[in-house]
Amino acid sequence: GQNIDQPTEMTATEGAIVQINCTYQTSGFNGLFWYQQHAGEAPTFLSYNVLDGLEEKGRFSSFLSRSKGYSYLLLKELQMKDSASYLCAVSTQDDKIIFGKGTRLHILP
Amino acid sequence: EAGVTQFPSHSVIEKGQTVTLRCDPISGHDNLYWYRRVMGKEIKFLLHFVKESKQDESGMPNNRFLAERTGGTYSTLKVQPAELEDSGVYFCASSPWTANTEAFFGQGTRLTVV
């Protein structure tokens, strides 16, 4: 079956660094997405990984290990506006996008 | 460039009524997806169109849900008759010819069945 696991909630302090992990077991793999979703809004795209390694984009970085079925999203220099849910999603070989349940990130001043 | 648009943004209907949700994807995007987020749960896949054809509708919960995509442009999702458990936020997303690129999401339609 299809399974994507990520922590339900995390708390971090403004200015700090936080890593959100995601593990997956899916029927085929054609890439992994991270989305950010603020309450009441649609998910917005953050990153896409299809090859192993680290992709850096400003304060956000995403890492993928296909052999381990593992990814993480790294957020640096946290700001209050980073308080949101972060969704890990996998594109499967039959072109579906399967979402995890999301990690709600709380930023403390 | 206009993004993915959905309407209505909110809909409150009584159990047993019919509701039709509409999604206008980004122009030129062949792939169109419908997702649903029920309160407190993950965003679940409903179905996938490639142009006007249903590529995958394995996520549709039951035959009360009917999705169409006229001429490969906008899509509608009809719920008839609506039940209480259909309440949630329905998201539409579109992407270019291959799914291995960013999917752009609409703002969602919040459906409340009372």
Which tokens belong to B47? Answer: 């179905």
| A37-78 pLDDT per residue, tens | 877 566 777 888 989 999 998 999 999 999 999 999 999 999
Cβ contact A45–B99 (<8 Å): no
- Residues B85-94, mean pLDDT to the nearest whole number: 91
The model's pLDDT over B90-101, given as tens digits with 9 standing for 90+, comes to 989 887 765 445
What digits encode the pLDDT tens for the residues B9-27? Answer: 999 999 999 999 999 999 9
CB-CB contact of A66 with A78 (8 Å): no
Which are the contacts of A5, defined by CB distance < 8 A and separation ≥ 6? Answer: A22, A23, A24, A100
Question: Among residues B67, B94, B68, which one has the least CA distance to residue B5?
Answer: B94
Closest residue of chain B to A39, computed from CA coordinates:
B107
Q: Two tokens at B51?
A: 């142009």
Q: Does B28 touch chain A (CB under 8 A)?
A: no
Residue B84 is classified by DSSP as G
Per-residue pLDDT for B57 more than 60? yes
If contacts are CB pairs under 8 Å, which of residues 48-107 in chain A contact chain B? Answer: 48, 50, 87, 91, 94-102
How far is CA A15 from each of CA A19, A47, A56, rounded to the nearest angstrom?
13, 21, 18
- Chain mean pLDDT for chain A: 89
- CA–CA separation, A81 and B65 (whole Å): 37
Measured between CB atoms, does B26 come within 8 Å of chain A?
no
